[in-house]
Amino acid sequence: MSDHGPHIFTREEVIAGSQTPIASWLKMSCAILAIIGTVTFIFGAFVGADRAWQALHFNWLFFSTVSSAGVTVVAVQRITTARWSRPVVRFMEGYVAFLPVAFVILCLSLTIGRDHIFPWATHPLMIEEKRQYLNVPFFVTRDLVMFGIQTILSVWYIYTSVRLDVGVVPESGASWARGIRDRMRNGFGEERRELHSTHSRQGKLAVAMVFAFALFWIIMSWDLSMSLDPHFQSTLYGYWFFMGAWVAAIAAWTLITMAWRSHLRRQDMITDVHFHDLGKLCFAFTAFWGYLTFGQYLVIWYGNLGEETHWARLRLIAPWSWVTMTVVALMFVLPFFGLLSRAAKVYLPTMAFFAACLVVGLYLHRYDEIYPSIYGVRVDGTLPFGIWEIAITAGFLGIWGLCYIAFMDAFPRMRVVLMTSPFRDEVQVPVNPKTMDALPAHE
């Protein structure tokens, strides 16, 4: 190799460079936030406060869609056999740790909390077709099954990814996951064969995950978000819903990657090129989200049908209008025009600002989907955002952080094999993982 070529890190360098312990104050902060949110919600549920359940619901939609989208972005990296993301993609794989917890919370919301969240659960629908579709047993079953399948596929995929690295690195990590790591190492074979067999298995899983993500979140967006207004319907709603989560997941990935680069002090491994690529992804998908938003609004506007226009009009009058306009500014106007240049993407303060805009924008977007449909026109002009929403948001942030930290403490923080194996680029060419013979390109 030429002396001017890129530096290839050794396995020891990658392992040593990714083992800096996570600060105890960060874990403690997450635990405190989780306790505050949990206690607040339990108190609200005990006294029968609808706002506690509604705050739980919109926060669940925010954190769950971002986590699910993040793992699906990881699957897309496999489908495209991306190499640029190898040093940073594990930071996004940690999103998967929240999904099992999210499944438990969804079970609570759809059973115990259903009457506090969905107006149609206590007031019979006048539209016969919607009354049949939102039949409670069918509604609860399909959403739990769909989210359950997504969770299983996501955990399975990340398990295969982590196993490939656990099998070649020395035993280390949080004690709670020692049994999982031992199970991963059990039966782990020769590195080259494991690399190809894992790559082949992940190819099938990744395609299934992408289809499940798109189909299931479209249906769940109808059920868990759009159905709150029983008279509104839009065929673009599902795409708009999951694409917001997609761009926010990438933006959160950008912020987390910045934090890990600073924490690990590995500017040599996580370079400006990575942030340039992440910035281009943020720019591309914020443009697509803006396209879907305008496309949906334009059709509602020129169609001028009462069952559609009331939904948009409600969000453009006080007190909801400032939330709606802030969402548009944070999720489209600022990041679209701000990330046009390369300089804005590679200069970390500006990239962090626009990435944070997207994450906060989706949070307000989820609020703007849910609360206006429940509360309608506010005669007193007050916005229902207070202690319930703030405390329960803090609780979700703390729980998500604890799940993420637990994952990153338990498993290798970088894709060691795909960064250091002498066979790492063989996966660009398809082979039979059993015979290791090259396959024709069309196979």
Tell me: the pLDDT tens digits for 134-168? 999 999 999 999 999 999 999 999 999 999 999 99
| Residue 6, pLDDT score | 59
If pLDDT is split at 50, 70 and 90, which confidence band does 433 have?
Answer: low
| Residue 293, pLDDT score | 94
| Residue 10, pLDDT score | 85
| Residue 221, pLDDT score | 96
Would you say residue 53 lies in a domain? Answer: yes
**Cα→Cα distances 267→83, 134, 165, 261, 270, Å:** 18, 52, 22, 6, 5
If pLDDT is split at 50, 70 and 90, which confidence band does 14 have?
Answer: confident
pLDDT at position 286 over 90: yes
What Rg, from alpha-carbon coordinates, does the chain have?
A: 23
| Residue 52, pLDDT score | 95
Residue partners of 312: CB distance under 8 A and separation at least 6: 297, 300, 301
pLDDT at position 432 over 80: no
pLDDT digits (tens, 9 = 90+) for 360-399: 999 999 999 999 999 988 888 889 999 999 999 999 999 9
Phi, psi for residue 438 in degrees, rounded to 5: -65, 140
Q: What is the CA 277 to chain-centroid distance, rounded?
A: 18
Provide the b/e sequence for 298-335 (b: ≥16 CB within 10 Å).
Answer: eebeeeeeeebebbeebbeeebbeebbebbbebbbebb
| Residue 91, pLDDT score | 96
pLDDT at position 185 over 70: yes
Token pair 């969804």: residue: 106
Would you say residue 443 lies in a domain? Answer: no
Phi-psi region of 209 (alpha: psi -120 to 50; beta: other; left: phi over 0): alpha
| Residue 3, pLDDT score | 44
Domain limits for position 409: 11-424
Stretch 258-271: mean pLDDT, rounded? Answer: 91
| Residue 1, pLDDT score | 36
pLDDT at position 205 over 50: yes
DSSP state of 233: -
Would you say residue 441 lies in a domain? Answer: no
Stretch 395-420: mean pLDDT, rounded? Answer: 95
| Residue 130, pLDDT score | 86
Would you say residue 433 lies in a domain? Answer: no
pLDDT digits (tens, 9 = 90+) for 33-56: 999 999 999 999 998 789 999 999
Q: Find residue 431's DSSP bridge partners.
A: 438
Q: What are the structure tokens assigned to 424, written together? A: 């790492």
Phi, psi for residue 431 in degrees, rounded to 5: -135, 160
pLDDT digits (tens, 9 = 90+) for 317-355: 989 999 999 999 999 999 999 999 999 999 999 999 999
Would you say residue 42 lies in a domain? Answer: yes
Q: What are the structure tokens assigned to 423, written together? A: 């066979």
Token pair 């359950």: residue: 148
If pLDDT is split at 50, 70 and 90, which confidence band does 442 have?
Answer: very low
Please tell me the distance from the alpha carbon of residue 237 to that of residue 216, in angstroms, as a whole number. 13
Closest CA to 155 of 106, 209, 105: 209
Would you say residue 248 lies in a domain? Answer: yes
| Residue 34, pLDDT score | 97
Q: What are the structure tokens assigned to 342, written together? A: 């390369």
| Residue 48, pLDDT score | 79
Question: DSSP letters along 72-119, please?
Answer: HHHHHHHHTT-STTTTTHHHHHGGGGGHHHHHHHHHHHHHTSHHHH-G
Window from 7-21, 196-210, 221-235, 245-259 with minimum mean pLDDT? 7-21
Residue 437 CB neighbour total at 10 angstroms: 8
Provide the b/e sequence for 51-72 (b: ≥16 CB within 10 Å).
Answer: bbbbbbbbbbbbbbbbbbbbbb
Please, what is the average pLDDT of the chain?
Answer: 91
Would you say residue 56 lies in a domain? Answer: yes
C-alpha triplet 372, 373, 379: angle, nearest 5°: 50
| Residue 426, pLDDT score | 81
pLDDT at position 441 over 60: no
CB 389 within 8 A of CB 49: no
pLDDT at position 4 over 70: no
CB 229 within 8 A of CB 333: no
pLDDT at position 7 over 70: no
Window from 7-16, 243-252, 315-324 with minimum mean pLDDT? 7-16
Amino acid present at 341: S
Stretch 271-282: mean pLDDT, rounded? Answer: 95
Closest CA to 225 of 244, 243, 241, 249: 241
Domain count along the chain: 1
Would you say residue 435 lies in a domain? Answer: no
Continuous H helices in 167-190:
178-185
